[in-house]
Amino acid sequence: MAPERPFAPAEHPDLGWDPRGQSALSGDLLQLFRRLDGVFLGLAGESAAREHRFPPFLAARHLERVNYFRSFPQHATFPVHLEASDENLRAFAGQDALDAQGNLRLTRTSPPQEVLTPAACYHFYPRFAGRTLAEPLYVTTMATCFRREREYRPLRRQWAFSMREIVCLGSAPEVEAFLARQRARLQELIDGWGLPLTWQVATDPFFDPRNPKVLAQKLDPVKHELTFAGDLAIGSVNLHRNYFGEAFGIIRAGEPACSGCVAFGLERWLHAILAHFGPRPGDWPGALSGGTP
């Protein structure tokens, strides 16, 4: 049951908010975060998806193969370090490291070769590059993802956020069946919880609206978003067709593999649960309150 007075999730005492776009969690919120992820890991388990834990950086050369820098340059964050000569490190260490605005006064840096993970599932395609799949592959991972935006809001839009993904690589019918099955199970779950969410057709946020992929996605929708309060996408079901299979030489049934993923933005789920059910764990749906599912 929804609380009588609407609760502002950003005011939860267990939330630490950094206005530069990051959040810290403890107490009830951290419990809720873990339980939500446990529920989504359970959905992954229904497809017998093997879990992976990936590192925070992704090689830029992998992302270049799928035109990431052309499509989403506005979102990327790069891990940069000082060029490691003694003279350069001494120059940096010997000065005031920050200017009056709080900006770091870096001396010479080495050119980066990596990007901070933009989406959890990007790690899988280079990992399976060149493989011929004897059967469809089901995998899952949860990763901290990074996207620069024009502005940030606690839990709802962050520079750094947490994404759980369940991914299938296989033939077109195998991937389509996986997505339909996962979407149906997800629908059952949220119906059981009584969380008011709607499905919306969406396109990816391409930097250049004239990118031919924008038109292609509009003509033949491949992205369906699960939306809270009309405008907050908290999950999505995505069909990539053979885009990644072709780019990374992954083969299924003699052809470039298709892929698809179900993605959950965990902080946004926290927002939806808190906004709808309020801050008391006892008011959250069974599996999230710590009771039996």
Q: Residue 7, interface with a second copy (CB under 8 A)?
A: no
- Please answer whether residues 159 and 146 qualify as being in contact, where contact means their C-beta atoms are separated by less than 8 angstroms: yes
Residues 196 and 276: beta-carbon distance below 8 Å: yes
- Residue (of 126, 51, 274, 225) closest to 284 by Cα position: 274
- Work out which of 2, 11, 45, 51 binds a second copy, going by CB under 8 A: 51
- Nearest distance from C-beta of residue 267 to a second copy, angstroms: 10
Could you give the CA distance from residue 252 to residue 132 in angstroms, rounded to a whole number? Answer: 6
Q: What string marks each residue from 232 to 271 as x (binds a second copy by CB under 8 A) or -? A: ----------------------------------------
**CB 11, min distance to a second copy, A:** 17
- The Cβ-side half-sphere exposure at 33, using a 13 Å CA radius, reads 19
In the block, residue with structure tokens 């499905």 = 199
Quick check: 54 binds a second copy (CB under 8 A)? yes
SS3 269: helix
Nearest CA-CA partner of 151 in 143, 159, 139: 159
Q: Angle at CA 234, nearest 5°, toward 230 and 237?
A: 105
How many residues bind a second copy (CB under 8 A)? The answer is 64
E strand or H helix that includes residue 125? helix 124-127
> Among residues 10, 37, 41, 78, which is the contact residue for a second copy, using CB under 8 A?
78
- Whether the CB-CB separation of 2 and 278 falls below 8 Å is answered with yes
Sign of CA dihedral 228, 231, 233, 239: positive
Q: Write the single-letter amino acid at 276.
A: H
Q: Is 69 a binder of a second copy (CB under 8 A)?
A: yes
Instruction: Name residues contacting a second copy, limited to 137-166 (CB under 8 A).
Output: 144, 146, 148, 150, 159-160
Token pair belonging to 61: 């050369």
Selected binder of a second copy within 2, 98, 180, 215 (CB under 8 A): 98
Q: Which of 123, 156, 157, 271 binds a second copy (CB under 8 A)?
A: 123
Task: Pick the closer one to a second copy by CB: 6 or 16.
Answer: 16
Q: What is the DSSP string of 168-202?
A: EEE-HHHHHHHHHHHHHHHHHHHHHHT--EEEEEE
| Residue 281 binds a second copy (CB under 8 A) | no
| Under rule CB under 8 A, residue 73 binds a second copy | yes
Q: Which of 102, 130, 230, 254 binds a second copy (CB under 8 A)?
A: 102
Q: Which stretch binds a second copy (CB under 8 A): 53-61, 130-138, 166-174, 268-276?
A: 53-61
Q: Which of residues 201-220 bind a second copy (CB under 8 A)?
A: 207-208
- Joined together, the tokens standing for residue 95 give 């000065």
Q: Position 277: which residue type?
A: F
61 vs 218, beta carbon nearer a second copy: 61
Residues that bind a second copy (CB under 8 A): 16, 18, 20, 22-27, 30, 33, 50-57, 59-61, 64, 69-70, 73-74, 76-82, 84, 89, 92-94, 97-99, 102-106, 109, 111-116, 123, 127, 144, 146, 148, 150, 159-160, 207-208
